[in-house]
Chains A and B, each alone.
Chain A
Amino acid sequence: MEQRFLDLLKQKNFEELSSADMKYILEMASKEDYTSARGFLESCKTNFETGLALMEPNEEIHDNLIAAYRYKYKGKVKKELHTPQFYFGNVIRTPVFRYAALVSLFMSLVLFLLLLEGRIPTSSVGFKDSTAMDIDQIKNFDKMNQYLCFKNAGLHAGIIIPETHWNP
């Protein structure tokens, strides 16, 4: 409600109002009040323009602030001088360097997979080196088998190697 009043006050003299606007204004204030308020705002406008022109910040303030600003950002400027971007800025921005990290990550993954593949044959070396033996000669072989069955069923069991055959 006040918005319309404030807008009209800023834009039009009482005599310039349309009949609808005039009716609306007269519901809220008298013609004298409206004219007075408008005159007051015009005086304020002139007064503020003059006042602003007369304002002048002290020179010292400007100097103090510039000194404070330089003091605060001095460290940051120094740090920036030692970054790779400062020395190699243009080189780093080339496409080859831009995707270097991605390419190196991919290459690392491939290398890891190749190494993983390589582990399988190396682990089988232990079987190849093992010595064959006659199971009938192993003492308590049945018991040993029983433990192995437990292990296959998901239970934890150690493999018992008969003492007699332990020593190589």
Chain B
Amino acid sequence: MAFEELYQRYSKRMLFYFHRNFYGDGEKAQDFLQDLFMKIIEKSNYFDVNKKFSTWIYTLASNLCKNEFRKNAVRKSYAENYQNRAIPQQPPTQSFSREYDYGLFSLSLDRELEQMNEKHRMTFILRHQQGLSIKEISEIMACSEGTVKSRLFNAIKRLANRLRLFNSQTKKH
């Protein structure tokens, strides 16, 4: 079945996309994953076969995120979620160091992303987490390629500066 193939190919990536956009809220990400694929089933006739499927699915996902941001519920859930996610104090053993690094960096990155403008955040995630091209991002975000580049440039500059200390810590491991 073609749908099964699509699900296998995109479900993990889309779950990760929602996970990052909702600052690590796993339950919300799972709900949105289901909503996204429901939309694909319902609106499959709206898909333009001359265009890339990845662009369409990310456009749908981004619109779902934007709608959620508009509801202004994300900020609240993040505050709750953030409090529940304690920063690990010390890696118990060397074998856990990778997880420790991941958890610590993810948490810090989520915190910085949360403080960023919605458009800059989504652009950064689409480019560096999902690995999309600048052209694809410009189609998904409905803006020019120049705008995408500018947003990326500013986002990296800001994040790198804010996470500079953390960056030097990770290099030690």
Tell me the interface secondary structure of chain A in the complex: helix
Residue in A closest to B19 when the chains form the complex, CB atoms: A55
Size category of the B interface is 35 or more
Cα distance A43–B15 in the bound complex, in angstroms: 21
Q: Is the CB of A64 within 8 A of B12?
A: no
By a beta-carbon cutoff of 8 Å, the part of chain B in contact with chain A is 1, 3-4, 7, 11-13, 15-16, 19-20, 30, 33-34, 37-38, 41-42, 98-99, 101-102, 105-106, 109, 128-129, 134, 149-150, 152-153, 156-157, 159-161, 163-164, 166-168, 170-171
| Closest chain B CB from A37 CB (angstroms) | 4
By a beta-carbon cutoff of 8 Å, the part of chain A in contact with chain B is 2-3, 5-6, 9, 29, 33, 36-37, 39-41, 43-48, 50-52, 54-58, 61-62, 64-66, 68-69, 72
Q: Is the CB of B4 within 8 A of A66?
A: yes
The 9 A-B pairs of least Cβ separation, nearest first, read A40-B160, A37-B160, A2-B153, A2-B149, A39-B167, A50-B102, A61-B34, A57-B11, A48-B129
- Cβ-defined partner of B164 (8 Å) among A29, A36, A41, A47: A36
21 example contacts (A-B, Cβ-Cβ < 8 A) are as follows: A2-B152, A3-B134, A5-B153, A6-B153, A9-B156, A33-B157, A33-B161, A37-B157, A39-B160, A39-B171, A40-B160, A40-B167, A43-B167, A51-B102, A52-B16, A57-B11, A57-B12, A61-B11, A65-B37, A68-B41, A72-B42
